């Protein structure tokens, strides 16, 4: 176990950063010094990171971050979500300066984190979801429980009765909201994401449309909720953006193998070289050679192996074609979803 015994930290901090380049260089040096791997995004609106290493290293990292004058009054130990893992969970260390610390594709000056929704603690959120589910069962809810993650995340784990947009990237979220404004009219919206950061800008965007009655968000995201309610209203796995793909808090499996339909929730990358899609394919289907995300990719894979190397094929498959940039939600859908659970 030795080298494997460590953890992965997930955190963010919205604040005004005068010199992002300087913060980026400091952050890079700090992570290298502590032998941490992972990804850190720095912008003039703050910092967002997920890093892995030994427990000694991650502890030191938290200490140094809390002592950094820029974050001193804003970050507290509780803002760091941790899970079992280590440096091996990431291929390398990437620290860079970006326009946004979470890529929504909208100028932070236009839609600011300062206009965010009302933060609810895991306990408050749990109570709200409980109330929402009992009302929805009687067909009289004025609330939408909104998952603002991507489709492949909500597929393997989500809150019961949620509305999960069929989007591939968070930068598609604003268009999703624009196309479905009717759905949010006069509604109370309860939003959630992995660690809370997407809700900060997502709720601000939703609020900027001035159609909802109220917008709430889960503070600390699913990560913090599961620490307190491992057997609560969130069922299935929690998708994470590292080599683990998912972490588990309950035994539920809510998704199925793409090929045979047996219950399965462990993602693998599509075996076709050019493709970046994730696929759910169970061990027995993998044994049969069903390792691609769709027949188009499976076929391409066979062609590529018989072709001279060095030729690249662009990612183009059934999965990408089937998923439009903005799926239109039908209003009845959210009630259907509630009934299913």
Structure tokens, 197: 């950061």
SS3 281: coil
Q: How many CB atoms lie within 10 A of CB 266?
A: 15
Cβ-in-10-Å burial (0-12, 13-18, 19+) of 110 comes to exposed
Beta bridge partners of 14: 46
Q: How many CB atoms lie within 10 A of CB 303?
A: 11
Q: What is the DSSP string of 112-124?
A: -GGG--EEE-HHH
Q: Which own/partner contact pairs does 208-212 have at CB distance under 8 Å and 24+ positions apart?
A: 208/111, 208/115, 209/177, 209/178, 209/181, 209/184, 211/181, 211/184, 211/185, 211/186, 212/184, 212/185, 212/186, 212/187, 212/188
- Write down the catalytic residue from 31, 148, 162, 193: 193
SS3 109: coil
d(CA 163, CA 338): 9
- Cβ-based neighbours of 303, under 8 Å, separated by 6 or more: none
Check if the beta carbon of residue 275 is closer than 8 Å to that of residue 282. no
Give the H or E element holding residue 158.
Answer: strand 157-159
Instruction: Note if 148 is an active site residue.
Output: no
Check if the beta carbon of residue 308 is closer than 8 Å to that of residue 279. no
Beta bridge partners of 38: 51, 93
d(CA 126, CA 298): 43
The catalytic site residues sit at 193
């Amino acid at each position: 176990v030795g080298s494997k015994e460590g953890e992965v930290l997930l955190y963010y901090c919205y604040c005004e950063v005068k010199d992002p380049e300087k913060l980026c260089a400091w952050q890079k040096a700090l992570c290298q010094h502590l032998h941490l791997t992972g990804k850190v995004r720095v912008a003039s609106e703050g910092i967002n990171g997920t890093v892995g290493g030994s427990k000694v290293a991650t502890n030191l990292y938290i200490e140094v971050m809390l002592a950094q004058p820029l974050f001193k009054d804003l970050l507290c130990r509780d803002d760091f979500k941790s899970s079992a893992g280590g440096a091996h969970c990431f291929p390398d260390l990437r620290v860079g300066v970006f326009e946004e610390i979470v890529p929504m594709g909208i100028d932070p000056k236009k839609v600011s984190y300062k206009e965010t929704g009302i933060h609810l603690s895991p306990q408050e959120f749990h109570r709200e979801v409980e109330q929402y589910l009992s009302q929805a069962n009687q067909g009289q809810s004025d609330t939408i429980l909104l998952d603002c993650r991507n489709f492949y995340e909500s597929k393997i784990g989500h809150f019961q009765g949620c509305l999960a947009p069929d989007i591939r990237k968070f930068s598609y979220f604003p268009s999703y909201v624009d196309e479905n404004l009717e759905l949010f009219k006069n509604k109370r919206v309860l939003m959630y994401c992995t660690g809370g950061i997407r809700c900060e800008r997502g709720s601000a965007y939703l609020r900027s449309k001035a159609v909802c009655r109220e917008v709430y968000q889960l503070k600390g995201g699913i990560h913090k909720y599961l620490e307190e309610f491992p057997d609560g209203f969130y069922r299935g796995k929690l998708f994470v953006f590292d080599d683990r793909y998912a972490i588990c808090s309950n035994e539920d499996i809510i998704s199925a193998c793409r090929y045979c339909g047996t219950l399965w929730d462990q993602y693998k990358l599509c075996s076709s070289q050019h493709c970046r899609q994730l696929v759910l394919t169970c061990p027995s289907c993998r044994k049969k050679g069903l390792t691609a995300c769709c027949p188009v990719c499976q076929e391409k894979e066979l062609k590529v192996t018989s072709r001279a190397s060095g030729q690249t094929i662009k990612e183009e498959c059934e999965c990408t074609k089937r998923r439009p940039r903005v799926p239109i939600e039908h209003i009845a859908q959210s009630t259907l979803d509630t009934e299913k659970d």
